[in-house]
Amino acid sequence: MNIIIVGCGKVGSTLVMTLSKENHNISIIDIDPDVVDQLASTADIIGVTGNGASLSVQKEAGIREAEILIATTESDEVNMLCCLIAKKSNKEIKTIVRVRNPIYLNEVGFFREELGLTMVFNPERAAAREIARILRFPSAMKIDTLSGGRVDILKFRIDGDSILTGKRIMDLPQDIRNSVQICAVERGDDVIIPNGSTVLSEGDRVSFIASPLNATNFFRTLNIETNAVKDTMIIGGGKLAYYLGLELLDTGIAVKIIERDRARCMELEEALEGATIINGDGTEETVVMEEGLESAQSVAALTNIDEENILLSLYAKKHNSKAKIITKVNRMMFDSIIEEIDVGTIVHSKSIVADIVNATVRAMQNSKGRSKVETLVNILEGKAEALEFVIREPSEVTDVPLHDLVLRDNLIVACIRRRNNIMYPRGGNTITVGDRVVIVTTHQGLNDITDILSERRQNK
């Protein structure tokens, strides 16, 4: 699709790299010529230097031929103006806008309707919802939702004393294999799409697909705590802390926020009724200890400095090994190091947004007949995808036992939802018209259910 991205900061540049991998035609607009030149050369895209709210600049970027405009500048108002100008120039264009200011929180529906916006996203609110989901199910490192909430993909780490350690998947107890489907294993920097012969090891980060109830039962079988946390200590009082506070207070989880800026503390105290707001430096040992770090059920390091968050999480882990730890990290270059030292769940708000926008773009392709993907979730830090297809017509893959299909390597048919029944398919199962099918794979760009077939089968 022809896509224009206005504003190439952290979120915008992440979207550029994500969407360019999907083979879209990307044009970017930014006021900084150095940013434009660097991104244009790195991603092999068209770059235009200028104000994205200018009609002439949008024309230079190809607004008349564009199918989607995504506005991600630092100003909510500029973003909305960019979309308004784009709609006046091209009535068919779809517009996606970033809006971060909390004062617009309850007016999103109005903006969407009056400005003809296709989608409004808020990076901090999206990240807050993901963190809240994790704190309601702290056994998981990460949770993604598919099929309208009917199934989840959850990730957890195997401990040395786990009943899974050293076991082949095919040798796991029958009740486990019938209730969940293990669909990916991260071992160091490697991603494995497993089969029955895959042996699970201590330290593996395992992703599995299951209904929420079956996920709870699975963790209980492993003697892993499944209850939601009762309280959380948030260090750093930015927008993410505000949105997370809203999410947690609504579900009855006690919230304590430590923020060094006194004026910001007063804002939070007024905005978050029921939360405890502490004016202090969360990087000071005496402050976090006095405020109950050792007894907190969860700790979220959400300052604006990555290194600070990592050290805070390590400190919290040392003094409270039972707490659920959340670490906000902006720069993904730290990921491989962080995973080795274990600082709990890592949150990248820009990556969460990239996943949401990418899924929306795939849905737009679907509506134009270019893709049959209903839902898309990037998992394993972007190393794999979980795609949900709705089977609307017969094809090469329907009504054929799975063991008779020649599937691509590094791909698994993880789940079939047939009406209200969730199945974790085995070789004798078939895909039929009307099914919702979840595929997990390291391959990118699958648009049709028949793309799961090996090229050897496709070329016959």
> Quick one: tokens of 305?
């400095």
Q: Per residue in 109-149, pLDDT tens?
A: 888 888 889 899 999 999 999 999 899 888 888 888 887 77
- Calculate mean pLDDT across residues 385-402: 92
238 pLDDT higher than 80? yes
CA–CA gap between residue 165 and residue 168 (Å, rounded): 9
Report the alpha-carbon distance of residue 397 to residue 245 in Å, rounded. Answer: 46
**pLDDT score at 444:** 82
Give the domain CATH number at 256.
3.40.50.720
Domain range holding 266?
A: 231-347
Verify that 311 and 236 share a domain, yes or no. yes
291: its two tokens: 């405020």
Contact (CB, 8 A) for 86 and 58? yes
C-alpha triplet 315, 319, 321: angle, nearest 5°:
100
Q: 336: which 2 tokens?
A: 């491989």
Which segment of 39-48, 131-140, 260-269, 362-371 scores lowest on mean pLDDT? 362-371
Res. 250: pLDDT tops 80: yes
CATH number, domain at 202? Answer: 3.30.70.1450
Same domain, 338 and 398: no
pLDDT bucket at 371, cuts 50 / 70 / 90: low
Q: Within this chain, do residues 109 and 32 fall inside the same structural domain, yes or no?
A: yes
User: Checking DSSP bridges between strand 324-328 and strand 298-301, what pairing results, if any?
Assistant: parallel
Q: Are residue 140 and residue 235 in the same domain, yes or no? A: no
* Distance separating alpha carbons of residues 36 and 48, to the nearest angstrom: 7
Does any domain span residue 191? Answer: yes
**pLDDT mean over 376-382:** 79
Q: Assess if residue 365 is contained within a domain.
A: no
Q: Number of helices (H) and strands (E), helices first, in the chain?
A: 15, 22
- pTM beyond 0.85: the answer is no
**One-letter amino acid for residue 397 of the chain:** V
Is 52 within the bounds of a domain? Answer: yes
Is 353 inside a domain boundary?
Answer: no
Q: Do 102 and 169 belong to one domain?
A: no
Q: Is 359 part of a structural domain of the chain?
A: no
Q: What is the mean pLDDT of residues 15-27?
A: 89
From 201, 221, 241, the end of a domain falls on 221
Q: What is the pLDDT of residues 329-365, one digit of tens each?
A: 887 666 666 666 777 888 888 888 888 888 888 778 7
Q: Give phi and psi for 308, each to the nearest 5.
A: -65, -45
The Cα–Cα gap between 67 and 175 comes to 48
pLDDT of 339: 65
Tens digit of pLDDT for each residue in 309-324?
A: 999 999 999 999 999 9
3 state SS of 427: coil
The verdict on residue 432 lying in a domain is yes
Q: Are residues 63 and 96 in the same domain?
A: yes
Determine, yes or no, domain membership for 357.
no
pLDDT tens-place string over residues 162-193: 999 999 999 998 888 888 999 999 998 899 99
Tokens of residue 174, six digits: 């029958």
Determine the average pLDDT of the residues in 187-203: 92
Same domain, 44 and 104: yes
Q: Are both 199 and 243 inside the same structural domain?
A: no
Q: Say if 405 falls within a structural domain.
A: yes
**Position 305, amino acid:** I
H helical segments located in 320-390: 335-341, 349-367
Same domain for 342 and 247:
yes
Q: Which of 221, 254, 285 is the last residue of a domain?
A: 221
Share of the chain above pLDDT 90, in %: 62
Which of 189, 221, 253 is where one domain is finished? 221
Domains of the chain: total: 4
Say what the pLDDT of residue 376 is: 80
What is the structure's pLDDT at 158? 92
Shared-domain flag, residues 203 and 244: no
Co-location of 241 and 343 in the same domain: yes
What pLDDT shows up at residue 249? 95
Tokens linked to 246: 């809203």
pLDDT category at 460 given cuts 50, 70, 90 is very low
Least confident of 29-43, 79-93, 101-115, 413-427: 101-115
Alpha-helix runs per DSSP H in 5-154:
10-20, 33-43, 55-61, 76-89, 108-115, 123-136
Q: How much is the mean pLDDT over the chain?
A: 90
6 and 117 together in one domain: yes
Q: Indicate whether 456 pLDDT > 60.
A: no
